[in-house]
Structure 1
Amino acid sequence: VPASFADASTLVIARLVIHMVQNIVAINDPLPPPSPSALTRFHSRAPPNISIDAYIIRFIKYAHIHPTILISFLIYIDRFCAHHPHFALSSLTVHRFLCASVVVGCKAWNDIYSTNGHYARVGGVNLVEVNALELELLFGLSWQVISSDAILQEYYTQLVESNPDFSFV
């Protein structure tokens, strides 16, 4: 893959992010369930019927997200967990967290973005819930939704180095 995230294709970044997220979920799924006071809007009662990779590809196809938004999803996970140490990305939280991250990321990084109604349809979540998820994420990130190119590059480098199927050219 190219040395710079800015030169990598959306599908390459998607494969890297999917690999990382699947690993995180596999680590967190066996953990005991959170206490009721630790539940967030991102928690669902049961995992959705769509796989993580299919869900990410769906957002790429229908919400036209680009590499910066995909990498920002991982940054948002780290930032949210720093403020909410009892939160774990799992099969019960990953889909809603991704949906909220797409909404927030598209608004932060794109001059032109879709409506929350569009993101709700793509994500299979109703509009009221998407609005609430967006606010929960924004407040959980203390509204820090933009990252420098250096941070984006750092995350990209870590993604490539942690995936045995990829290397820099």
Structure 2
Amino acid sequence: MESDSPHRVEIPPNFEDAPIDDLVQLIADMLERLISHNDRIPLSPESLTRFHSRSAPSISVLDYLKRIVRFTNVEKSVLLITLFNIDQICARVPLFTLSSLTCHRFLITSITVASKGLCDAFCPNALYARVGGIPVTELNVLERAFLAMIEWRLMCTREILQEYYVNLVRTHSAGRYFLTGADSPSSSSDSEIDLDSGASSPTETPSQPSAVLLEHGTMHEFVTRPTIEQNMAFAALQQLQAQQEGMPHRP
């Protein structure tokens, strides 16, 4: 497909330069695919968290993100670090899944926490809560639960956020976006992750490269983290095992 096709959108190679509307589209596309997958997993009582709603909100993930961006002037790094936070929590709390019942509360909480940790200027919790459609007392509780789940590790490197950005472009469900300077959709960096298998490119080891978490300029230990794509594959395995366990035994 030609790069000047009206069906494809060229965006800058660095996430800092990308239009925020395109970044929202990319993130929402990934989250909606993840939610669609995880909603097929039976919900068990032990997997319930503070982030679970009684029913799925009527607003889509895309419209919810657009609302947050419109009223809170959220920064691009804060949006991308939400994906990193999903990976952090899924690694530390294996029972947690991002679904239609948890995604909206998770998003507004992650953005609230990350804005405070990364930005010089941010909104009060009362505004984040009003934009997110939850009481401020509930957001306060969610914020404490969220910080405990990520063990107060609020930072990650710019390189990690850039990896998320590149992979969002590469794995977009409609293949609509491409980076400036990319000759074709296959001209991706060696660090990208295969969506179907969860494995890295042939030049990398099968596991996702470790992330260096930073706090006040200090380098902490390397933490191996599963990617969102790997979480999807693991969720599929859990679903298959649950189905097999529910089948009658045959001698």
**TM-score interval, smaller chain:** over 0.9
Name the residue aligned to 1:15.
Answer: 25
Q: Distance in 2 between matches of 1:154 and 1:123?
A: 28
- Partner residue of 2:198? none
Which is higher, the Rg of structure 1 or of structure 2? Answer: 2
Q: Give the structure-2-normalised TM-score.
A: 0.66
RMSD between superposed Cα atoms in Å: 0.8
* Residue number in structure 2 paired with 1:130: 139
- Determine which structure has greater relative contact order: mean sequence separation of CA pairs < 8 Å that are 6+ residues apart, divided by chain length: 1
State whether structure 2 residue 159 is matched by structure 1 residue 150: yes
Provide the residue aligned with 1:75 in structure 2.
Answer: 84
* AA at the equivalent of 2:177: F
Q: Using the alignment, how far apart are the partners of 1:140 and 1:84 within structure 2?
A: 7
Deviations 1:124-167 (A, max 9, x none): 10011000111111110011111111111111111111011111
Partners of 1:52 and 1:152 lie apart in 2 by 20
Read off the aligned partner of 1:165 and give its amino acid letter: R
Cα displacement string for residues 68-98 of structure 1 (whole angstroms, at most 9, x for unaligned residues): 1110111111101111111110000000000
Q: What is the aligned partner in structure 1 of residue 41 from structure 2? A: 31
**In the comparison of the two structures, how many residue pairs are matched?**
168
In the TM superposition, structure 1's runs of 4+ consecutive aligned residues that sit over 4 Å from their partners are none
How many Å separate the matches in 2 of 1:89 and 1:11? 22
**1:9–1:67: 8 Å Cα contact kept in structure 2?**
no
After superposition, what is the alpha-carbon deviation per residue over 1:30-80, rounded to whole angstroms, capped at 9, x for unaligned?
A: 1101x2222110011100121111110000000111211110111111101
For structure 2, list consecutive stretches of 5 or more residues without a partner in the other structure.
1-10, 181-251
Return the offset for 1:7: 1.2
Which segments of 5 or more consecutive residues in structure 1 lack a partner in the other structure? none
Seq. identity, %: 39
Does structure 1 residue 141 correspond to structure 2 residue 150?
yes
TM-score, normalisation: structure 1: 0.97
1:111 is matched with 120
Matched position secondary structure for 1:91? coil
Residue 35 of structure 2: SS of its match in structure 1?
helix
